[in-house]
Homo-oligomer: A and B are copies of this chain.
């Protein structure tokens, strides 16, 4: 059962207790066929294991069994937002990912530079994955146009990927993609999906036409495709719903952006794991909820680097005593999804979770690993319920019902 945020709001209460949510991105793995052990099982994690012995463990399903979450649903679930109900458009997510300061009325689209033949048919949807430098140069040619009184801001993301942000009055994001998601056909015209979206569609189509002219001489990146037109969603904040004063410590823009969307304050931090833990220590007095995000595990998983993923986990373990010494009332350690080295990408496998509090009802699990967590006292449960468990263990929830 997923309680609505409206209902949760009625039972949350502010208190002086503190919660630290440590998200080890892509934490879960798969056993290496040689050793029959996962990344987490190979890693030496004496400090995590010490916390496990005092805490309670289990496995979370970030979205639902079998579902491989993107970064947004995985994190939204951990923040207590039903990832199926709370959706973030592709354009907005890309904008967040490059730290673009999206205004409330902006409409953002994800863009691809692509290759077209002389008939205008798409031959490569990624323009041969041009370099990020090339992408940056092309974006500069397209940036700053004004069409229908709408200013269009174009920023590079990575390789062939960029964002186009439309800023002006009278726009609505309900328009179709120009990206047909296949080759051998022409890009589609952007069409309205609601009666308010006329100006948006026209502006996008004019922008695409201008761009086609400008890019003509830059083969293989001689055309562009837009998709995922969307506006920054206005979610109820964690302050409103959970009555927390939450802060985020994350070295990647995407995760800072997701945290900002749910109303967390973003703390300045160095990029290393040690830096992030130091930031936690320095700002510990100022907030009662901390989201501490570690990216390296996911990156190593995506790069299929078993040894590096193990090393990052061990590095987190070494930094853990600094967190524990702050004596948070509740510590949660988990991931937003699994990123098994064997699959070199996100996966659907449930993610180990460890929760420590004075009131957690310890189980018999003695080490932090996928196989040990199977028999943990928390069982296997939806990621969206983590936040309520953390809140309950911090004694921040009142009784439900009379």
Contacts and interface: CB of A to CB of B under 8 A. Distances in A.
Given A30-B359, A66-B391, A88 B402 contact: yes
Interface string A43-76: 0000000000000000100011111111111000
A90 to B, nearest CB: 5
A186 interface: no
Contacts of A380: 378-381
Given A84-B1, A377-B374, A401-B83, A392 B68 contact: yes
Interface stretch (A133-141, A275-283, A308-316, A360-368): A360-368
Contacts of A342: 359
B370 A400 contact: no
A387 B66 CA distance: 8
Contact of A64 (B3, B66, B93): B3
Interface residues of A, number: 67
Nearest to A80: B66
B399 A68 contact: yes
Given A375-B374, A402-B90, A388 B70 contact: no
Given A361-B370, A362-B31, A381-B380, A70 B1 contact: no
A65 B30 contact: no
A381 B65 contact: yes
A388 B64 CA distance: 9
B31 A401 contact: no
Contacts of A376: 374
B371 A363 contact: yes
B400 A68 contact: yes
A72 B1 contact: no
A388 B399 CA distance: 26
A390 B11 CA distance: 31
Nearest to A398: B68
Nearest to A363: B374
Given A88-B402, A388-B66, A371 B364 contact: yes
B89 A397 contact: no
B65 A388 contact: yes
A272 interface: no
Interface stretch (A187-195, A215-223, A291-299, A343-351): A343-351
A84 B400 CA distance: 9
A391 B397 CA distance: 33
Interface string A76-94: 0000001110011110011
Contacts of A63: 1, 400-401
Given A361-B349, A375-B374, A380-B381, A401 B65 contact: no
A228 interface: yes
A267 interface: no
Interface in A1-58: 1-3, 7, 11, 30-31
A1 B66 CA distance: 12
Contact of A30 (B3, B346, B361, B388): B361
Interface of A: 1-3, 7, 11, 30-31, 59, 63-73, 82-84, 87-90, 93-94, 228, 340, 342-343, 346-349, 359, 361-364, 370-371, 374-382, 384-385, 387-393, 397-402
Given A89-B402, A380-B381, 13 more contacts: A2-B64, A7-B84, A59-B379, A65-B381, A65-B385, A65-B388, A67-B392, A67-B400, A68-B392, A68-B397, A347-B392, A348-B397, A374-B376
- Give me the 8 closest cross-chain CB pairs, A-B, nearest first: A66-B388, A379-B380, A73-B401, A66-B392, A70-B401, A93-B402, A348-B392, A66-B389
